């Protein structure tokens, strides 16, 4: 076996941590109204401040540069014109004095300038023997671009050109500037270009100062808006959070909880309305609880009071039923009807007593380890006579290979649920097969009862677990009860922390699926069976009256052996 790549593990850990942080941040964002309000306020403030600052800085920058440009352009125009006249006067002098006159005139160019200005005198064409060497005050000739030189050369001495340039500073940076130039023709040699370069550093400093002021103002506005947003959000969120906490306490049964109302604003009116609503709900819930208690007490008292006379009637009907052969045919039939109806009355009374226990919260589980496969087979075997009378075939289906179907359940309650589901399936099967499917996984055991009879509509499926509800109340049923069987089954499953689901389609049958956790208190991950379950006809095992009961006894022995083994291991 190859060793795992340590690099992949090292890369996966940061990604997992990042995903967890993103998940926590997303959860915090979704649950915190104050955080959303502050972040949105900050973003809107930043965007608005940036747009306003950009517009104002652009306006200020344009105004300052235009003002300074107008000043230097007027000064450069005057200075270049004076320089043109000074250099033009050299034409009448002797050429021998050219080297003396040009430096003298060049050094006097910046004397009258009130602005920071540098001067350059450079040839515009290459020549071997220059009558005058290039000159500059305190600036490099590289400042003047090739485009500006060519423009000055082409336009001749009558036109002035200018161009923004970058001036190198002492610290290695670059300051903005503007270069103005004209063409000058000396008595000998190529044409020269005279350039005045003006420094705009002071303008840039003013622009930077204005920009810093805007940044400080934007930061101050951002902080102020965040504080306002936090105060407003807290003023709104805090009462809402208190209302949520009070609502949760009311939902937990503390009906006397109320909001503290301060002031007369909208939040205060909300608190008053909330308290009024809570008081109304408390009154209604108290009234309903009182009515429910009275109803439960009535059902319980009536059920208990009926047991004594019903027991007497049952004993009398049993005696009459056992002696029915001595009666005439009419009396014999009446005796049989009386006996069956008393039995149904007893079953109804037992169901009512069971429902009263559920309503009173007095129902408890008697847990033990039960082999649900053996229990399901016992239920199916006991239902064979009823199936034979209905002409239905009973089958056990065990898809997959599972070693154990043992779970911690109340055997009596699960047996009652399975009997109810199987009997209902036989009753509605219309002579079609009835299948009991059982499967399990590591955490749960599922049992489904499937018939292929009349089926149910989606509306009937939605109401099938309601009390006293029957899919077809007008139709005679050989085993029809009170309509409490599935309601009791639902309560039994709730006690087991499992689930009971129904499926049905008209003309295609119906299916009820029971899912139970293997260990009480440990929820199961998923159901071992789909709804409806999928299986083949070959997986059916016929259940009949002559079913070999040895298999059932072996299953019971297996359960006892496993229980003894666990006790010995403990």
Expressed in angstroms, the distance from the first to the final Cα of the chain is 38
pLDDT digits (tens, 9 = 90+) for 348-396: 766 666 666 666 666 677 888 888 888 888 888 888 888 888 888 899 8
Phi, psi of 406 (to 5 degrees): -85, 140
Same domain, 296 and 429: no
Same domain, 351 and 397: no
Number of independent structural domains in the chain: 2
Residue whose entry in the numeric block shows the structure tokens 């064979």: 384
Residue whose entry in the numeric block shows the structure tokens 């671009």: 145
pLDDT at 560: 44
What CATH number is associated with residue 538? 3.30.565.10
- The confidence band for 565, taking pLDDT boundaries of 50, 70 and 90, is very low
Same domain, 351 and 431: no
Span 548-561, average pLDDT: 43
In a domain, 163, yes or no: no
Same domain, 562 and 514: yes
In a domain, 492, yes or no: yes
pLDDT at 159: 84
What CATH number is associated with residue 285? 1.10.287.130
The lowest-confidence range among 286-295, 525-534, 558-567 is 558-567
Span 175-188, average pLDDT: 83
Q: Point out the domain boundary residue: 337, 355, 373.
A: 355
Q: Point out the domain boundary residue: 304, 328, 355.
A: 355
Distance CA 508, CA 452 (A): 5
Same domain, 439 and 347: no
* Contact indicator for 490, 483 with CB cutoff of 8 Å: no
pLDDT at 483: 65
Highest mean pLDDT among 42-56, 226-240, 287-301, 549-563: 42-56
- Domain of residue 348, residue span: 267-355
In a domain, 1, yes or no: no
Q: Indicate if the pLDDT at residue 77 is higher than 70.
A: yes
Span 462-473, average pLDDT: 68
In a domain, 159, yes or no: no
Distance CA 213, CA 53 (A): 10
pLDDT at 361: 62
Q: Please count the other Cβ atoms lying within 10 Å of the Cβ belonging to residue 178.
A: 20
Same domain, 327 and 371: no
Same domain, 523 and 557: yes
Q: Indicate if the pLDDT at residue 317 is higher than 60.
A: yes
Span 233-259, average pLDDT: 78
Q: Point out the domain boundary residue: 297, 324, 355.
A: 355
DSSP label at residue 259: P
Span 331-357, average pLDDT: 73
């Amino acid at each position: 076996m190859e060793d795992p790549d340590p690099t992949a593990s090292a890369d996966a850990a940061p990604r997992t941590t990042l995903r967890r942080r993103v998940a926590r941040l997303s959860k915090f964002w979704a649950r915190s109204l104050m955080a959303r309000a502050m972040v949105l306020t900050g973003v809107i403030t930043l965007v608005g401040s940036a747009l306003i600052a950009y517009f104002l800085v652009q306006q200020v920058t344009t105004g300052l540069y235009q003002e300074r440009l107008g000043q230097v352009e007027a000064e450069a125009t005057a200075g270049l014109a004076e320089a043109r006249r000074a250099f033009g006067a050299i034409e009448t002098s002797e050429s021998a004095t050219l080297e003396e006159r040009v430096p003298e005139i060049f050094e006097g160019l910046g004397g009258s300038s009130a602005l920071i200005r540098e001067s350059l005198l450079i040839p515009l064409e290459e020549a071997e023997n220059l009558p005058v060497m290039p000159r500059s005050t305190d600036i490099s000739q590289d400042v003047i671009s090739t485009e500006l030189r060519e423009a000055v050369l082409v336009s001749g001495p009558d036109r002035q050109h200018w161009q923004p340039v970058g001036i190198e500073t002492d610290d290695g940076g670059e300051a903005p500037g503007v270069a103005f130039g004209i063409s000058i023709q000396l008595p000998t040699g190529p044409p020269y270009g005279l350039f005045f370069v003006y420094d705009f550093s002071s303008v840039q400093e003013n622009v930077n100062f204005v920009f810093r002021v805007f940044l400080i103002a934007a930061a101050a506005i951002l902080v102020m808006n965040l504080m306002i947003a936090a105060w407003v959000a807290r003023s709104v969120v805090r009462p809402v959070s208190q209302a949520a906490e009070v609502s949760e306490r009311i939902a937990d049964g503390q009906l006397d909880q109320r909001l503290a109302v301060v002031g007369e604003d909208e939040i205060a009116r909300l608190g008053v309305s909330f308290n009024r609503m809570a008081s109304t709900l408390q009154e209604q819930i108290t009234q309903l609880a009182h009515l429910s208690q009275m109803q439960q007490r009535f059902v319980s008292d009536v059920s208990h009071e009926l047991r004594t006379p019903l027991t007497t009637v049952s004993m009398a009907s049993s005696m009459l039923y056992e002696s029915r052969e001595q009666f005439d045919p009419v009396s014999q039939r009446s005796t049989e009807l009386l006996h069956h109806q008393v039995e149904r009355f007893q079953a109804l009374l037992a169901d009512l007593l069971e429902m009263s226990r559920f309503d009173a919260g007095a129902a408890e589980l008697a847990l033990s380890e039960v082999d649900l496969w053996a229990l399901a087979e016992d239920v199916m075997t006991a239902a064979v006579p009823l199936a034979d009378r209905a002409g239905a075939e009973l089958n056990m289906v065990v898809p997959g290979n599972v070693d154990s179907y043992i779970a911690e359940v109340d055997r009596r309650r699960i047996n009652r649920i399975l009997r109810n589901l199987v009997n209902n399936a036989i009753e509605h099967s219309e002579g079609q097969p009835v299948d009991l499917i059982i499967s399990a996984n590591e955490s749960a055991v599922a049992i489904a009862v499937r018939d292929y009879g009349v089926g149910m509509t989606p509306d009937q499926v939605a109401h099938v677990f309601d009390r006293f509800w029957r899919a077809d109340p007008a139709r005679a049923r050989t085993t029809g009860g009170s309509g409490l069987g599935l309601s009791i089954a639902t309560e039994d499953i709730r006690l087991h922390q499992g689930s009971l689901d129904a499926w049905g389609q008209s003309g295609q049958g119906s299916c009820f699926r029971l899912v139970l956790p293997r260990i009480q208190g440990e929820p199961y991950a998923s159901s071992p069976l789909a709804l409806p379950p999928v299986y083949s006809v070959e997986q059916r095992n016929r259940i009949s009256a002559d079913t070999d009961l040895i298999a059932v006894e072996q299953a019971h022995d297996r359960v006892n052996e496993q229980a003894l083994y666990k006790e010995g291991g403990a």
